[in-house]
Amino acid sequence: MATKQPKNEKKRAADPSAVIENAGVTVEQPIVETLEKNYMPYAMSVIVSRAIPEIDGFKPSHRKLLYTMYKMGLLTGARTKSANVVGQTMRLNPHGDQAIYETLVRLSRGCEALLHPYVDSKGNFGKAYSRDMAYAASRYTEVKLDAICSELFGDIDRDTVDFVDNYDNTMKEPALLPVSFPSILVNANVGIAVGMASSICPFNLSEVCDTTIALLRNPEHDLLETLKAPDFPGGGYIVYNEKELRSIYETGRGSVKVRARYAYDKANNCIDITQIPPTATVEAIMDKVVELVKAGKIREISDMRDETDLSGLKLTLDLKRGVDPDALMRKLFRMTPLEDAFSCNFNILIAGMPRVCGVREIVSEWSAFREGCVRRRIYFELQKKKEKLHLLKGLAKILLDIDKAVRIVRETEEEKEVVPNLMIGFGIDEVQAEYVAEIKLRHLNREYILKRTEEIGQLKEDIAQMEETLADKKKIRAIIISELKEVGKKFGQPRRSLLYYPSEEDTQPVEAQALDYPVHLFFTKDGYFKKITPQSLRMSGEQKLKEGDEIRRELESSNNAELLFFTDKAQVYKAKASDFDDTKASVLGDYIPAKLGMDEGENAVYMAVTRDFSGYMLFFFENGKAAKIDLSGYQTKTNRKKLIGAYSDASPLTAAFQIAEDGLFLLTSTNGRMLLVHTGAIGAKSTRNSQGVAVMTQKKNQFLRQVREYREGMVANPHRFQVKTLPAIGALPRAEDQGEQLTLG
């Protein structure tokens, strides 16, 4: 029988929010508390469990992947499809198949991203030096562990490292890998965490092993004697700087300059680039060279093409006749990514804490870690030998009377009584009795038991030696040194990155400064620019302009003058007059937004010209404010082409002026009022995007419409429009003031 639903229950069913406690209630929470509860756990997870490598040289994603491949038997077996590895790794790494496969690709031999790849690969894995060369899907490629991985997992089954639960507590994984060499220094490792990053450059394996051995023997060893410089998988030349290298070795911070390796083909008059810096890609280099050629800064190259094939990287530059290839390369090293810096930040996790370490400290921490691994391995083997010795001692007692042992087993009625009876009969413990009871019938002969018990003496000797080793730190280090020598001998290879010692030619200017000569500069309302020599201007007729366009600025300057083009998006683009070709009055000129690569929809509204960045920029805004900015604020040490925040965007710009000294400006509002302002009343600012000071008060729905430099005769009674204090509302013009000032641009 159906029961009648109460009225309040019907109401709650109709209104879902009625059954949610505190629905719609806004609770204030301090931002610090929110960050501590929500953001800090995420930040710590990224630092400790994702982006920063540990002392074994691996991030968690690398370690999980390699350990999965080891458990799949891929250290000695045949290759398997990458998709199989990715699927198995998801039992340890829950971040998704694509992320796992990208990790696998970077570890592979085919990608050429590592000095000593950990994965032996077959198929297309892309290339680290190419931006566009994509890797194939995981179902097409095959992988197995490379031979060097035997040094990562050789002791892992002998209790050398701790094991922890995976993310769902269904299996165990190693917290660290018991690497037998400082892999943290051998392969590059770059990661960006929250609030910190890590960037470890690779070093030659043989040099790392030799350096570690030397430091184990002498902690004061000079690192540069054995560790010459970083060694990158892509080769190239290390621009040698001893002071910088020593700084990196001691502090873990600094940068290493790497330049491309090239060869000049005299027969074909071309340069073949075969090795590039690790931070560059072929496409980025080509894009930069094309940009420089279009800008006219490089005129020696007639053609460029990427000839990379199965034999490796090859970028070919065809030269014009008579070009010096070495001089051109010096220019390219300065202007393109063919020479680039690898920034070092040796930030690693030690005992779960991020720490920036120098090479000496990293080797010291790794040695302590490896010493612990070796001790645990020896202790594990010691326990095994002690257990075996214990069993053999029990077997030796059986040897005294084999017939008695057989008789005890035969006369025992119940199977569960066999072990206790053997314990009583021979005075052995339960473990020994279990071992004796499990001996096969065919082995119950004197010869077999004698052979087994002969091992007792050797076991005692081995146990004594192991206990002696565990008690002596020098012997532990001797084992580590022996293993390092073996690794260096087995897997060492010649340096790929050669050392280049800079010469005087490298310090010479990239190119001679452009010729300096007088020019006339023109800038129009629609953003067109012309540079015309005085001679050409005298011979020219009328200026050619687009329909409706007009010249906004015309001034005399020189070919080496700096040009600043201010845009309607509060940005400024910098160029030199020498960047533009000389032209004639009969052409339209260069369209600045296109020439300087401005953003879409961005227009140039004003051009400033300077040689020493003296004087001021004056900006007037629709809200009646004006800002006077030191022109030196736009000067940069580096050759930057674009500066954001060129002026305040709090209110639309009405007009901009470049002034060498203070003067009078006539302001006109949309309500017809006019005001004469002396710029001496406006304080100069060094901050480019300063909002300025109020100069002309604007009423609601009114704005500053026009600003012009004041010239004698623009108004009949100029004193009427001048005030003692700013801001001011201005005055309405009289009939006698009607004239030039009312012509709006």
Instruction: Give the pLDDT score at 639.
Output: 75
C-alpha–C-alpha distance, residues 422 and 405, integer Å: 7
C-alpha–C-alpha distance, residues 217 and 214, integer Å: 5
Instruction: Give the pLDDT score at 410.
Output: 87
Q: For 452-467, what is the mean pLDDT?
A: 90
Instruction: Give the pLDDT score at 527.
Output: 94
C-alpha–C-alpha distance, residues 453 and 593, integer Å: 93
616 in a structural domain = yes
Signed CA dihedral, 215, 221, 226, 228: sign only: positive
pLDDT band at 686 (very low <50, low <70, confident <90, very high): confident
16 in a structural domain = no
Can you read off the two tokens belonging to residue 332?
A: 């390219």
Instruction: Give the pLDDT score at 2.
Output: 46
578 and 661 housed in the same domain: yes
pLDDT band at 742 (very low <50, low <70, confident <90, very high): very low
What amino acid occupies position 146?
D
Domain harbouring 629, CATH code: 2.120.10.90
Instruction: Give the pLDDT score at 513.
Output: 46
Contact of 497 with 237, CB cutoff 8 Å: yes
C-alpha–C-alpha distance, residues 483 and 213, integer Å: 10
Closest listed residue to residue 143, CA positions, set 177, 103, 181, 174: 103
Instruction: Give the pLDDT score at 509.
Output: 59
C-alpha–C-alpha distance, residues 652 and 695, integer Å: 15
DSSP-derived 3-state class of residue 242? helix
Q: For 555-573, what is the mean pLDDT?
A: 92
329 and 381 housed in the same domain: no
pLDDT of 1 strictly over 50: no
C-alpha–C-alpha distance, residues 493 and 207, integer Å: 10
Residues 6+ apart with CB under 8 A from 692: 619, 621, 625, 626, 627, 628, 648, 682, 685
Q: For 483-494, what is the mean pLDDT?
A: 96
Neighbours of 410 (CB within 10 A): 8
DSSP-derived 3-state class of residue 478? helix
C-alpha–C-alpha distance, residues 296 and 308, integer Å: 27
Three state DSSP letters for 572-589: EEEEEHHHCCCCCCCCCC
527 and 480 housed in the same domain: no
384 and 330 housed in the same domain: no
DSSP-derived 3-state class of residue 280? coil
Neighbours of 68 (CB within 10 A): 22
229 in a structural domain = no
pLDDT digits (tens, 9 = 90+) for 295-334: 888 888 999 999 999 889 999 999 988 788 998 999 999 9
Contact of 355 with 426, CB cutoff 8 Å: no
Signed CA dihedral, 67, 68, 69, 72: sign only: positive
Neighbours of 387 (CB within 10 A): 12
Contact of 103 with 50, CB cutoff 8 Å: no
Give 731-738 contacts, CB < 8 A, sequence gap 24+: 731/673, 731/674, 731/675, 732/672, 732/673, 732/674, 733/672, 733/674, 737/674
714 in a structural domain = yes
Q: Residue 76 gets which letter from DSSP?
A: T
Tokens 């990715």 belong to residue: 86
Contact of 146 with 119, CB cutoff 8 Å: yes
Please identify, among 439, 473, 491, the residue that sits at the C-terminal boundary of a domain.
491
pLDDT band at 19 (very low <50, low <70, confident <90, very high): low
Domain harbouring 110, CATH code: 3.90.199.10
Tokens 């279990």 belong to residue: 434
pLDDT band at 413 (very low <50, low <70, confident <90, very high): confident
303 and 425 housed in the same domain: no
pLDDT digits (tens, 9 = 90+) for 353-373: 999 999 999 999 999 999 999
Q: Residue 203 gets which letter from DSSP?
A: B
Signed CA dihedral, 292, 296, 301, 303: sign only: positive
Domain harbouring 458, CATH code: 1.10.268.10
Contact of 216 with 477, CB cutoff 8 Å: yes
pLDDT band at 199 (very low <50, low <70, confident <90, very high): very high
How does strand 518-524 pair with strand 551-558?
A: antiparallel
Contact of 199 with 376, CB cutoff 8 Å: no
524 and 658 housed in the same domain: yes
Q: ∠ at Cα 66 (61, 70), nearest 5°?
A: 150
Q: For 384-390, what is the mean pLDDT?
A: 93
pLDDT digits (tens, 9 = 90+) for 255-279: 999 999 999 999 999 999 999 999 9
**CA-to-CA dists, residue 400 to 29, 429, 448, angstroms:** 82, 17, 13
555 and 487 housed in the same domain: no
Q: ∠ at Cα 220 (58, 360), nearest 5°?
A: 15
Instruction: Give the pLDDT score at 512.
Output: 44
How does strand 498-500 pair with strand 237-239?
A: parallel
331 and 395 housed in the same domain: no
Contact of 704 with 621, CB cutoff 8 Å: yes
158-185 core/surface letters (b: 16 or more CB in 10 A; e: else): bbbbeeeeeeeeeeebbebbbbbbbbbb
C-alpha Rg value of the chain to the nearest Å: 40
Q: Give me the catalytic one of 39, 101, 118, 140.
A: 140
pTM of the model: 0.67
Q: Residue 114 sits in which domain range?
A: 52-179
Number of domains in the chain: 4
pLDDT of 224 strictly over 90: yes
Instruction: Give the pLDDT score at 453.
Output: 79
pLDDT of 17 strictly over 70: no
Please identify, among 316, 337, 358, the residue that sits at the C-terminal boundary of a domain.
337
What amino acid occupies position 729?
I
pLDDT digits (tens, 9 = 90+) for 541-559: 788 899 989 999 999 999 8
175 and 274 housed in the same domain: no
Please identify, among 179, 194, 217, the residue that sits at the C-terminal boundary of a domain.
179
Instruction: Give the pLDDT score at 581.
Output: 87
522 and 482 housed in the same domain: no
Can you read off the two tokens belonging to residue 639?
A: 């050759």
299 and 412 housed in the same domain: no
253 in a structural domain = no
Residues in the chain: 745
The residue ranges of DSSP E strands in 410-451, in sequence order, are none
C-alpha–C-alpha distance, residues 588 and 593, integer Å: 14
What are the two backbone dihedrals, phi and then psi, of residue 119, each rounded to the nearest 5 degrees?
A: -120, 125
Can you read off the two tokens belonging to residue 3?
A: 């029961």
Alpha carbon 431 to chain centroid, angstroms: 58
pLDDT of 739 strictly over 80: no
DSSP-derived 3-state class of residue 709? strand
220 in a structural domain = no
pLDDT of 5 strictly over 70: no
Q: ∠ at Cα 685 (679, 691), nearest 5°?
A: 85
How does strand 339-345 pair with strand 253-259?
A: antiparallel
How does strand 142-145 pair with strand 674-678?
A: unpaired
pLDDT of 9 strictly over 70: no
272 in a structural domain = yes
Instruction: Give the pLDDT score at 42.
Output: 86
Q: ∠ at Cα 650 (649, 654), nearest 5°?
A: 65
Tokens 């940009």 belong to residue: 291
241 in a structural domain = no
Q: For 71-84, what is the mean pLDDT?
A: 94
pLDDT digits (tens, 9 = 90+) for 154-180: 889 999 999 999 999 999 999 999 999
C-alpha–C-alpha distance, residues 113 and 125, integer Å: 10
pLDDT band at 745 (very low <50, low <70, confident <90, very high): very low
pLDDT band at 625 (very low <50, low <70, confident <90, very high): very high
Can you read off the two tokens belonging to residue 266?
A: 């005299």
As a whole number of angstroms, the longest Cα–Cα distance in the chain is: 142
Domain harbouring 276, CATH code: 3.30.1360.40
- Helix (H) and strand (E) counts in the chain: 22, 33
DSSP-derived 3-state class of residue 88? helix
Is 140 marked active-site?
yes
615 and 699 housed in the same domain: yes
